[in-house]
Structures are given as structure tokens and as C-alpha cells.
Amino acid sequence: MSNIHGIIGYTITPFGANGEGVDLPALGRSIDRLIAGGVHAIAPLGSTGEGAYLSDAEWDQVAEFSIRHVAKRVPTVVSVSDLTTAKAVRRARFAEAHGADVVMVLPASYWKLTEAEILAHYRAIGDSIGVPIMLYNNPATSGTDMSVELILRIVNGVENVTMVKESTGDIQRMHKLQLLGEGRVPFYNGCNPLALEAFAAGAKGWCTAAPNLIPQLNLDLYEATLAGDLGKARELFYRQLPLLDFILKGGLPATIKAGLRLTGLEVGDPRLPVFPLAEAGRTQLQALLNTLR
């Protein structure tokens, strides 16, 4: 069981001019910056990393480079989600072969999946690798909302599904996971505006793109909740909430890439059809960052 905890930082995928090709040196700089900022783990190729917008060759390139560049300084949690079970299995095996500590699986689909289909998808991935799987529930991006009961069926039925990342934004899901899972299933928060409540509910970690821009505030919030200082945690949370809301509502690839650019790291624009952050948004983001410096 790998000890994934604390602030789990999402990386972006930097592109070259016109969104063509992956800029690996810029990716390396962004990873170094996250690790220097103190994150407890690195999560490449998630929503922030535009994993869904990469060709298979690019996906492999980014996965291999990220794992090698992190070089076990912190654990890596590689998102391997894909539309078909076979492709998700291939990505999971690739990530494991290159040294990923954990793979994260979101049941991405075009057709609405039944519970039996979702369970079979996780089982097939679990059977094909030996590293732990973080089950990821995010109906806003996947179109599939897994109930707590289904999640626990998967955790109980697939040996290496040992962690749950909850991104519905409904704190009751975490309470229910804690109660029905009898405290045995570590859960992680994937919804930025829920960071305070999630830690208060016992979340082991917070998977977020925010440490690309405000690592210290993210870490301080985690430390305050670990220390049981709710007053301090609340104060820290409200300080960062306007930025957390902004990056989420503006779309993570666009806002995080704009924020990195504003803080001196050029990582290109998101890949079309996603537009870069408009000028009004950049001005607002700069103002938010200025208040948090």
C-alpha cells in the first residue's frame, strides 16, 4: 500500500507553438517547481494535464518523462483513463512498467455505463497490473457518477483498488465513504472549493492543480488540519478560496497555464478546442495572485 497523502499536485502538459508537440523541458521545470514547492506527490496526465487531448505517442512520452523526471523524489500518481478498457489497460501497464507508484482511473465513456460494466472495467485494469489504483469519481468530466455503494463494491471486489478520489463536490459522499467503508478506505478530495470540509472529514489528501501557483497556502492548510487547528485552517482556506474558485470555473488547463506564464514559466496554451484564458481573465488572475503573494 503506497502512502499517498497530503497535497497531490497536478501537472500541466506544455505544448509548443500552435499546440503542436510536447515541450518536455518546460514540463520538467514545472515538475521541479511543484516539488520545490513541497507537494507530497505528483499526478501527471489528469484533467489539468489535458490527458484526453494527447495522441497515444504523446501520452506515452509525457508519462515516461514525468515518472523519470520526478525520479522517486515523491510518489507519482498517473492518470491512465481511456474510453476503452483495452486502452486503459495498455496505459496502466505502460505507467507501471516505467515506475508509476499508483495509477488513477476515471471511468471515461461515451455510452452510459452500467454498474456491471464499470466494475468489469476496474477489474480488467486491476488484473493487468500490480500497483495500487486510485478510483476516481468525477461525473462532471466523465458523465458517470459512481454511488458510494458501487465504489465500495469495486474496492472490495478488485484487490488493488485501494484509494478513492471524490470530485463530486458533495461532502456527504465522503461522510458516507467513511461510515460505510468503516474507516478502511482512504479517500482524497478532488474538488478545490471543498478542501477545508474534506480534510475535516478525514480526507488523506487533496489532488489539486493549485500548487502550481500557491503551494505554500495549500500545504499550510493541510498542516493546520493535521495539527487540529480548525481556526487557522479556516482562515487559510478562505484566503485561497477566491483563487481556487477562479481556476476551477475558468477551466484548469487555461487558468493554470495562464498563471504559470504570469509567474514566469512559459508552458504554451491549452490545445484546441480549449481556448487560452482571455485578457479579462488574465487581469483577474493577476490580481488574485497579487493578493496572495
CB of 264 closer than 8 Å to CB of 208: no
Residue for cell digits 501497464?
93
Active site residue 165: yes
Per DSSP, the residues of 6-49 read: EEEEEPP--B-GGG-SB-HHHHHHHHHHHHHTT-SEEE-SSTTT
User: How far, in Å, CA of 149 to CA of 166, rounded?
Assistant: 13
Q: How far apart are CA 128 and CA 125, in angstroms?
A: 5
Query: Cis bond leading into 253, ω under 30°?
Result: no
- Known active-site residue 72: no
Catalytically annotated residue among 136, 204, 222, 257: 136
Q: Which of 122, 165, 188, 257 is catalytic?
A: 165
CA distances to 66, 74, 207 from 213, rounded to whole Å, are 19, 19, 14
Catalytic residues: 136, 165
